[in-house]
Chains A and B, each alone.
Chain A
Amino acid sequence: DTAVSQTPKYLVTQMGNDKSIKCEQNLGHDTMYWYKQDSKKFLKIMFSYNNKELIINETVPNRFSPKSPDKAHLNLHINSLELGDSAVYFCASSQVRANEQFFGPGTRLTVL
């Protein structure tokens, strides 16, 4: 299936731990994104990469570090997890400046 995929779907961890979320798209897009959706359903852009180059870097704690090994993959590493990091994290992809962004299924992160 052509899609945006994320792993894991659920992630439960303790405060202070380090974790990663992986994202892959096989749509041939050149731009990928990370979004955070909080408990009130507010969806906010965190990062965007175009052809492995960082083009959007919102005000996000530097504990969050995106990595794009190639244009089909965008991973998110989070250090020293905090309670407030609990949210659903969505990966998305698009062609650069295209109207439609395609979202992955989301990763529900719970920090205890």
Chain B
Amino acid sequence: QKEVEQNSGPLSVPEGAIASLNCTYSDRGSQSFFWYRQYSGKSPELIMFIYSNGDKEDGRFTAQLNKASQYVSLLIRDSQPSDSATYLCAVKGITGGGNKLTFGTGTQLKVEL
């Protein structure tokens, strides 16, 4: 079982729709959870992080965490073509002095006109 699992996609959504990206993790000791966006040929950049159960909203982005189900999701409202990228879920526990990020393989999102 992979430590962090994501569907590779591609996930295709029409412009203006809600894109829902999902992630599960295996380590119940995980403490904080991250969503990074990576455009093709570029480096990952942090969109959001969450560490408490529930929802966290930032603009068009909402991160959702359910520790009991070991599940993290990212909702993108009013999807734009510029949101087309690979979205990487990452998890941090206590290993590496609390600095180690474990990434999933990413979900490719395509927002179509």
A residues in contact (CB < 8 Å) with B: 31, 33, 40-45, 48, 50, 55-56, 90, 94, 96-97, 99-101, 103-106
- What is the minimal beta-carbon distance from A62 to any residue of chain B, in angstroms? 19
Count the A-B residue pairs with Cβ separation under 8 angstroms: how many? 57
CB distance from A4 to the nearest CB of B (A): 8
- Alpha-carbon separation in the docked complex, A99 to B92 (Å): 9
Chain B: minimal CB distance from A75 (Å): 18
B25: Cβ under 8 A from any A Cβ: no
Given contacts A41-B86, A41-B105, A99-B34, contact A50 B44 (CB under 8 A): no
Chain A residue at minimum C-beta to C-beta distance from B34: A99
The number of chain B residues with a CB under 8 A from chain A is 22
Q: Which 7 A-B pairs have the closest CB atoms?
A: A103-B43, A56-B96, A97-B98, A43-B103, A99-B49, A100-B46, A42-B105
Q: Find out whether the CB atom of B44 lies under 8 angstroms from the CB atom of A43.
A: yes
Looking at the assembled complex, report how far the CB atom of A37 sits from the nearest CB atom of chain B, in whole angstroms.
9
Contacts of A90 in B (CB 8 A): 43-44
Q: What is the distance, in angstroms, from B84's C-beta to the closest C-beta of chain A? A: 15
Is there a chain A Cβ closer than 8 Å to B80's Cβ?
no
- State which of B42, B96, B102 has its C-beta within 8 Å of the C-beta of A55: B96
Q: Is B88 an interface residue (CB 8 A)?
A: yes
Closest residue of chain A to B105 (Cβ to Cβ) is A42
Q: Is the CB of B43 within 8 A of A105?
A: yes
Task: Answer whether residue B27 sits at the interface, using C-beta atoms and an 8 A cutoff.
Answer: no
